[in-house]
Structure formats: C-alpha cells, structure tokens
Amino acid sequence: MIDLIKKLPKAELHLHIEGSLEPELMFRLAKKNQVEIPYKSIEDVRNAYNFTNLQTFLDIYYAGANVLLTKEDFYDLTWEYILKCVEDNVIHTEIFFDPQTHTERGVPFEAVITGIKEALADAKEKYGITSCIIMCFLRHLSQAEAFETLEEALKFKNDIIGVGLDSSELGNPPSKFKEVFKKAKDEGFKLVAHAGEEADFSYIYEALDLLNINRIDHGVQSIKSPELMQRLKIEQMPLTVCPNSNIELKVFETYKEHNIKELLDYGLNISVNSDDPAYFKGYINQNFINLHENLPITEEDIITLVKNSFRSAFIDDELKEAYLAKVDLALQ
C-alpha cells in the first residue's frame, strides 16, 4: 500500500504556503532579516507545535510568518515546498497564500506574489509541475479589509486563479464575506472557503448558498447533516480534506475517529491534502500513509482519492484527462 501511495502522481488542492515554513528555514530567515522568534532551537520549535484547537495553531503560525519579508523569502519558501512535491510525486498543486498576514506588516503584496510566482514558474520548467495560486482572506479581519485586498489582487489577476477564506472559523461565518465573494466572482475568480472545519455544518450551507463556492476546504462537519450529505453527493461538491491537520488541531481526538472513510463511502468527492505540513507532521504522502495505518482504507479508496484531486482541480478538461491517464499508467 505504501508503495502505491508513493508511486501515484497526485494533485494537492489545500496547502497554505505559509504553513510549509519548516523550522530550519524559519531560523535562517529570522537571522538574515533580524526578526526575533520565540525559540532557541529547532527542538524548541517542534515542542511548541502542540495544539489544542485551530486558534492555538494560528497564533504560532502567524508568529512564524513574521520572518518572511522579501520576494526572495517567498521564493525560497515556495521552492522548498516544491522540492517536497517532487519527493511525494505531486504533479499539480494549488497554493493558498494569505496576503493580509504580510501586508499588515508592511510587506508589499507584489513581493509576496512575485516570489511565489517565480518559484512556481521554475517548478514548471525544472520539474514539469503545474500550479495555481489562490488568495485567501483572513476571516478574523473585516469584509472592508478583504475588499481592499481584492482591489490589490486585481493588479495580479493573471497570477491568481481564485480566492478563499481562512483563519479563525468560529464566530466568523461565511455570511460576513458575502459581498466581497460576489465581487470576486464577478471579476472571474474561482471561489473556495474553509467551512465546517471546527464550526458546525451551518457554515457549509452558508459557504454554498451565500458565497457560491466551487470547493469546500475541510467540510468534515457535514457528516452531522444527512440532508447536506445528500446535497454534497448529488452536486459532487469537492471537499479538500486534511487528515493530519484535523488530528493535530483536535477536530478528531484520534486518527481512528477521523470520518474520511465514511465521507468517501457515502460517495462524496473527497481529496487528501496537507494544509500546513511543516506544522502538522508531514506532507501529502504522510497523510495518506497515516490514513492507511489507522483506518480501513483500501487500495481502491487511495486511487479514488487521488483521482478526485485531479477531477476537482482548477485546470482545463484536457489537462485533467492527461493527468488521470498518468494515474492509470502508474497503476499498470
């Protein structure tokens, strides 16, 4: 099974580039940029990664992002993630970034997007990896601030395929961002939103009905509503599930309690993703391996999950078919 996991080409659809900041790079950039970080050693960092919920993670994650200042820093961050893609056989990736985390600190939007974009262009040239960039609004900030961010993003419209919604979910429902998502849709962006990660399934309904999203990030709380489950199945609405993340953030107490197998068996369109791999103990293959080691996941399930990742990607049908054919070839 582990051989199968490793050899299958995959797409990753839910990856926060700031969440791929490994402690080693954090230390290097802190030193270079003379930014203080609250850790003495790499071991110290790893010990701090002991979360009790989403917010305890976010506090540490935003503090870590403080070391990112220049275009080169964002290039290096993205390039290191690309090297993990090469290792894990990820051939297409759709990367989230949180511009507000950086513009709030005085880092220009342009430095962030250009650093990421140049690394992705090199990834295509050197490894043939295709990619898209999705800009997320921080939901703990206001809709007015999201509008300002969208305005800045319009200058880089050709580089950004979609917009998303992340950060502190509880108390910040999708309805708070209804108008800015409408504007983003009118501008031609694809739409995604974190919904039903920690908060209840009403957030998933809001994301579907008020934001008109094309994919749900996480969405694991949908299991509590039979009516929603049926709708998600009929619409084949993609759910980008992140198993390691859900365990590290205590959405499920143990891996054995994770509901991905139930969601999949019900017929939902589920993919596996790493979310913030530097913080959640592993990249995409490790997520698959943990599923295999803890749940009655079959080889057929793995193949379905991988094929779903390509079917749900923001790429044209021709490329989708070519990638699905690559999966079939790897299976022969």
Per CB under 6 A, does 99 bind ligand ADE? no
The 10 Å CB-count burial string (b at 16+, else e) for 22-48 is: bbebbbebbeeeeeebebeeeeebeee
Contacting ligand ADE (CB under 6 A), which of 5, 9, 12, 16?
A: 16
253 catalytic? Reply is no
Contacting ligand ADE (CB under 6 A), which of 54, 112, 228, 295?
A: 54
Stretch that binds Zn ion, among 82-90, 133-141, 275-283, 293-301 (CB under 5 A): 275-283
Contacting Zn ion (CB under 5 A), which of 18, 73, 275, 301?
A: 275
Q: Are 2 and 68 in contact (CB under 8 A)?
A: no
Return d(Cα 213, Cα 197) in angstroms, integer.
16
Return d(Cα 74, Cα 225) in angstroms, integer.
40
Other CB atoms closer than 10 Å to residue 147's CB: what's the count? 15
Q: Of 168, 149, 199, 197, which Cα lies nearest the Cα of 59?
A: 168
Residue 150's contacts (CB-CB under 8 Å, 6 or more residues apart) are 137, 163, 180, 183, 184, 187
Ranges within 220-279 binding ligand ADE (CB under 6 A): 245, 275-276
Residue 290: which of Zn ion, ligand ADE, none does it interact with, CB under 5 to 8 A by kind?
A: none
| Closest separation in Å from C-beta 174 to ligand ADE | 13
Using DSSP, state whether 311 is helix, strand or coil: helix
18, 197, 198, 206: which one is catalytic? 197
Which CB atom, from 22 or from 275, has the smaller least distance to Zn ion?
A: 275
| Closest separation in Å from C-beta 55 to ligand ADE | 10
| Binding-site ranges for Zn ion (CB under 5 A) | 275
| Binding-site ranges for ligand ADE (CB under 6 A) | 16, 19, 54, 166-167, 194, 197, 245, 275-276
- Catalogue the active-site residues: 197
